[in-house]
């Protein structure tokens, strides 16, 4: 089974909306972003990289889409349906343009809340209503979820499976396979050095993140995944 490297991005360039607390470190400059894309495009096997974009920022359409097309790359976009057509976020027309260009669209929920903190009814609403809104917009089934803030537990994963999702993209770093339900990604940050980015693109996780992942895996093994 091929081991894939999941690279997760948020906003690119200058935000056109007010950022949430702790969000700014995850924005990359356009230069940082295109350097990473060039690295992916120049690698011996660009299909070993799975590119994803969370939050449905306007930069997905204005900056990311042309940069992907220019390099013959594709990506998945995890959209917040509560922000569609809001200033600084994707409009509905932008989502259909992403699809028409061969990009994938999945749910990041409605309101950008941590799914693991929600009660059963609120969790159901986030994952079902966001999916339904995207399906109406896309005209086909939506079965990919990008987990907000990478925060999940067994209950979140069960709810996603029960509601027809086939994938759940986390932020746990490490390799992913394209058959697994849970797919770890590494989130790129604007303060990462060239060396760190190089290591991530080579499939080598920074030591600190590897430790977090080990701790996370131990915790998750205790929780039944049904």
Q: Which is nearer to Zn ion, 13 or 148 (CB)?
A: 148
Report, in Å, the least distance between residue 27 CB and Zn ion: 12
60 is a contact residue toward Zn ion (CB under 5 A):
no
Q: Which is nearer to Zn ion, 39 or 157 (CB)?
A: 157
Structure tokens at 38: 């060039």
| Beta strands per DSSP E along the chain | 4-9, 49-54, 76-79, 104-107, 144-146, 167-169, 175-176, 182-183, 186-187
Structure tokens at 211: 């430790």
Count of residues that bind Zn ion according to CB under 5 A: 3
- Among 9, 13, 51, 54, the residue binding Zn ion under the rule CB under 5 A is 54
126 is a contact residue toward Zn ion (CB under 5 A):
no
Q: Which is nearer to Zn ion, 38 or 85 (CB)?
A: 85
Residue 72 burial (10 A CB sphere; 0-12, 13-18, 19+) = exposed
User: CB nearest Zn ion: which residue?
Assistant: 54
Q: How many other C-beta atoms are found inside a 10 Å radius of the C-beta of residue 23? A: 14
Can you tell me which residue has the tokens 């929780």?
223
- Among 55, 60, 126, 144, the residue binding Zn ion under the rule CB under 5 A is 55
What part of residues 145-174 is at the interface with Zn ion (CB under 5 A)? Answer: 148
Binding site for Zn ion (CB under 5 A): 54-55, 148
């Amino acid at each position: 089974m091929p081991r894939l490297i999941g690279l997760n991005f948020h906003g690119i360039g200058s935000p056109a909306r007010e950022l949430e607390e702790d969000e700014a470190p995850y924005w990359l400059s356009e230069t940082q972003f295109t350097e990473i894309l060039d690295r992916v495009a120049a690698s011996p096997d660009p299909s070993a990289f799975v590119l994803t974009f969370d939050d449905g920022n306007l930069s997905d359409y204005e900056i990311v889409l042309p940069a992907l097309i220019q390099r013959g790359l594709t990506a998945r976009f995890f959209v917040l349906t509560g922000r569609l057509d809001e200033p600084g976020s994707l409009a509905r027309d932008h989502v259909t343009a992403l699809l028409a260009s061969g990009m994938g669209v999945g749910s990041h929920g409605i309101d950008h809340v941590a799914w693991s903190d929600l009660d059963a009814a609120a969790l159901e609403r986030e994952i079902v209503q966001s999916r339904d809104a995207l399906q109406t917009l896309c005209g086909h089934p939506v079965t990919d979820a990008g987990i907000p803030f990478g925060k999940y537990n067994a209950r979140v994963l069960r709810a996603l499976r029960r509601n027809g999702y086939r994938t759940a993209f986390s932020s746990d770093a490490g390799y992913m396979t394209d058959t697994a339900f849970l797919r770890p990604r590494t989130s790129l940050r604007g303060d990462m050095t060239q060396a760190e980015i190089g290591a991530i693109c080579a499939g080598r996780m920074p030591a600190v993140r590897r430790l977090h992942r080990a701790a996370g895996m131990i915790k998750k093994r205790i929780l039944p995944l049904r």
